[in-house]
């Protein structure tokens, strides 16, 4: 499509006729893909008079798409889809990162009859790659007139939200944990919120929220991370991938390592180990009895995590948790060495194999040689948030 024709199409985005708006945004949608050669027509160049970064989308288009995201269903669907495509660019993320539009996204997610909740989750997952959006997420109230059932049906949860310093995120976590497989909203599974948790966990503030040590300390069983851990073996790659990444990032918070591993705390060890375990049986049944209870008697149908990148993240999580002698001893007691030894024999990825060997070297070391929490801290510095 020529530039003039595309410009005419854009003019129809704010037409008074709803059907014209629907056709216009539907026609524009293919051009918003990063791979489309005509997308450059929609962006701001280096010599533009607009006070925006090169690569930003022309402001009028962004404003039209924001408005259309609250239009009739089919129109809003394509508007959200276009904004998702555009938000692969950091300058566009900055354009979309204002409280008013974030409220539209939040409301779309928490409306349990919304047909567009998953699209809104996808857009939020792109936007939370920016620190300013993370800060807004952690301080935003719940939009008024929410139709989320937890607020009206669960009095204890409702009371907790009123005391929370991050009530909106608590509500989204509740949706994520209980809305699995369209159990709350028949049109949404909220899997893309897993990417939001991963993005939040890449910042110190986000990690503090997830482990419950923010401005309002939270008991472990109510901390968000506690509700993420069960999903490390979920069938959805998007859901389990985001959760596994969030867990690894939380492992950078060395001050809570004891709570992360404690059976009376987050008890993360089974959540990390189970995806790394396969159907292999041990010759010595008594040895298996020393594994975490959740990791015993898995049966011949047990399958390991199929994605090598996620297996690597899981092993790196164990390396981070092995920073201090106390946590290394817990791992030895629970036979983590034996579990990763079996994994190493079956592993096909060199990167994962190398990380397993790093972990094993930490676990088999003689603690008397180096009693301080030390070199392993330097080793951990080589790992990065995901």
Residue 365, domain member (yes or no)? yes
pLDDT band at 374 (very low <50, low <70, confident <90, very high): very low
Contacting residues for 327 by C-beta, under 8 A, at least 6 apart: 257, 258, 261, 321
Residue 259, domain member (yes or no)? no
Residue 170, domain member (yes or no)? yes
Give me the chain's average pLDDT, please: 90
Residue 225, domain member (yes or no)? yes
- Is the domain of 61 the same as that of 133? no
Question: For residue 284, what pLDDT is reported?
Answer: 80
Return d(Cα 308, Cα 300) in angstroms, integer. Answer: 21
Return the minimum-mean-pLDDT range out of 100-104, 219-223, 307-311, 315-319.
219-223
- Is the domain of 107 the same as that of 204? yes
- Residue 160: is its pLDDT beyond 80? no
- Residue 372: is its pLDDT beyond 80? no
Tally of CB atoms within 10 A around 377: 12
The DSSP letter of residue 359 is H
Q: Point out which residues pair with 57 in neighbouring strands.
A: 43
- Is the domain of 246 the same as that of 101? yes
pLDDT band at 173 (very low <50, low <70, confident <90, very high): very high
Contact 356, 343 (CB under 8 A): yes
Question: For residue 222, what pLDDT is reported?
Answer: 84
Return d(Cα 280, Cα 257) in angstroms, integer. Answer: 29
Question: For residue 164, what pLDDT is reported?
Answer: 80
The DSSP letter of residue 43 is B
Beta strands in the chain (DSSP E): none
Burial per residue of 88-114, b for 16 or more beta-carbon CB atoms within 10 angstroms, e otherwise: ebeebbbbbbeeebbbbbbbbbbbbeb
Write the pLDDT tens digit of every residue in 6-33: 889 999 999 999 999 999 999 999 999 9
For residues 265 and 154, the model is more confident at 265
φ, ψ at 91 (rounded to 5°): -60, -35
Write the pLDDT tens digit of every residue in 265-293: 999 999 999 999 999 988 788 888 999 99
Retrieve residue 229's tokens: 């851990």
Q: Is 29 exposed, middle or buried (0-12, 13-18, 19+ CB in 10 A)?
A: middle
The residue from 68, 89, 110 where one domain ends is 89
Contacting residues for 247 by C-beta, under 8 A, at least 6 apart: 225, 228, 229, 232, 268, 271, 272, 317
Return d(Cα 280, Cα 310) in angstroms, integer. Answer: 20
Residue 268, domain member (yes or no)? no
CA atoms within 13 A on the CB side of 25: 31
- Is the domain of 109 the same as that of 83? no
Q: How many domains does the chain have?
A: 3
- Residue 376: is its pLDDT beyond 70? no
Return the minimum-mean-pLDDT range out of 202-216, 235-249, 300-314.
202-216
Question: For residue 385, what pLDDT is reported?
Answer: 80
Q: First and final CA of the chain: distance in angstroms?
A: 39
- Is the domain of 290 the same as that of 230? no
pLDDT band at 44 (very low <50, low <70, confident <90, very high): confident
> Of 113, 7, 149, nearest to 64 (Cα)?
7
pLDDT band at 101 (very low <50, low <70, confident <90, very high): very high
- Residue 377: is its pLDDT beyond 70? no
Largest CA distance in the chain: 77
Contacting residues for 284 by C-beta, under 8 A, at least 6 apart: none
- Across the range 175-182, mean pLDDT stands at 92
- Residue 379: is its pLDDT beyond 60? no
- Is the domain of 289 the same as that of 330? yes
- Across the range 260-264, mean pLDDT stands at 94
Tally of CB atoms within 10 A around 326: 11
- Is the domain of 149 the same as that of 46? no
- Residue 140: is its pLDDT beyond 50? yes
Residue 261, domain member (yes or no)? no
- Is the domain of 36 the same as that of 110? no
Write the pLDDT tens digit of every residue in 281-325: 887 888 889 999 999 989 899 999 999 999 999 999 999 999 999
Residue 267, domain member (yes or no)? no
- Residue 51: is its pLDDT beyond 80? no
Question: For residue 252, what pLDDT is reported?
Answer: 96
Question: For residue 270, what pLDDT is reported?
Answer: 98
The residue from 37, 65, 89 where one domain ends is 89
- Residue 375: is its pLDDT beyond 80? no
Return d(Cα 266, Cα 97) in angstroms, integer. Answer: 33
- Is the domain of 75 the same as that of 157? no
- Is the domain of 229 the same as that of 288? no
Question: For residue 265, what pLDDT is reported?
Answer: 93
The residue from 89, 107, 133 where one domain ends is 89
Q: Point out which residues pair with 43 in neighbouring strands.
A: 57
Question: For residue 108, what pLDDT is reported?
Answer: 95
Q: What percent of the chain has pLDDT over 90?
A: 71
For the chain, state the CA radius of gyration.
24
- Is the domain of 70 the same as that of 102? no
What string of DSSP letters covers 59-114? HHHHHHHHHHTTSSHHHHHHHHHHHHHHTTSHHHHHHH--HHHHHHHHHHHH-TT-
For residues 250 and 112, the model is more confident at 250
Residue 263, domain member (yes or no)? no
Q: What is the dihedral of CA 95, 110, 165, 161, to 10 degrees?
A: 170
Write the pLDDT tens digit of every residue in 338-362: 999 999 999 999 999 999 999 999 9
**Residue 354: which domain range?**
275-386
- Residue 159: is its pLDDT beyond 60? yes
- Is the domain of 65 the same as that of 116? no
Retrieve residue 318's tokens: 């164990």
């Amino acid at each position: 499509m020529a530039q003039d024709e595309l410009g005419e199409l854009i003019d129809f985005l704010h037409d008074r006729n709803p059907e014209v708006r629907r056709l216009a945004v539907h026609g524009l949608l293919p051009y918003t893909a990063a791979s489309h050669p005509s997308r450059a027509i929609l962006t701001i160049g280096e010599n533009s008079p607009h006070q925006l970064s090169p690569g930003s989308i022309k402001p009028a288009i962004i404003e039209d798409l924001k408005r259309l995201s609250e239009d009739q269903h089919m129109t809003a669907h394509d508007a959200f889809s276009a904004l998702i495509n555009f938000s692969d660019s950091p300058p566009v993320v900055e354009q979309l990162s204002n409280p008013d539009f974030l409220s539209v996204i939040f409301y779309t997610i928490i409306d349990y009859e919304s047909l567009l909740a998953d699209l809104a989750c996808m857009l939020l997952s792109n936007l939370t790659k920016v620190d300013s959006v993370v800060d807004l997420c952690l301080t935003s109230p719940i939009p008024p007139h929410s139709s989320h059932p937890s607020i009206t049906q669960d009095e204890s949860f409702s009371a907790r939200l009123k005391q929370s310093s991050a009530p909106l995120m608590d509500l989204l976590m509740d949706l994520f944990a209980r809305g699995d497989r369209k159990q709350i909203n028949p049109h949404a599974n909220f899997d893309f919120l897993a990417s939001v948790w991963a993005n939040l966990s890449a910042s110190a503030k986000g990690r503090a929220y997830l482990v419950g040590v923010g401005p309002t300390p939270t008991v472990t069983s109510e901390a968000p991370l506690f509700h993420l851990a069960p999903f490390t073996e979920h069938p959805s790659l998007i859901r389990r991938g985001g959760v596994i990444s969030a867990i690894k990032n939380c492992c950078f918070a060395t001050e809570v390592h004891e709570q992360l591993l404690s059976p009376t705390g987050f008890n993360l060890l089974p959540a990390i180990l189970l995806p790394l375990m396969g159907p292999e049986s041990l010759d010595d049944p008594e040895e298996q009895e020393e594994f975490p209870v959740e990791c015993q008697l898995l049966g011949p149908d047990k399958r390991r995590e199929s994605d090598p990148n996620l297996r690597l993240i899981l092993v790196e999580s164990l390396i981070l948790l092995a920073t201090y002698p106390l946590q290394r001893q817990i791992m030895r007691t629970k036979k983590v060495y034996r579990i990763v030894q079996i994994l190493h024999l079956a592993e096909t990825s060199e990167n994962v194999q190398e990380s397993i060997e790093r972990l094993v070297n930490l676990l088999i070391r003689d603690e008397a040689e180096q009693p301080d929490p030390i070199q392993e801290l330097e080793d951990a510095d080589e790992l990065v948030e995901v």
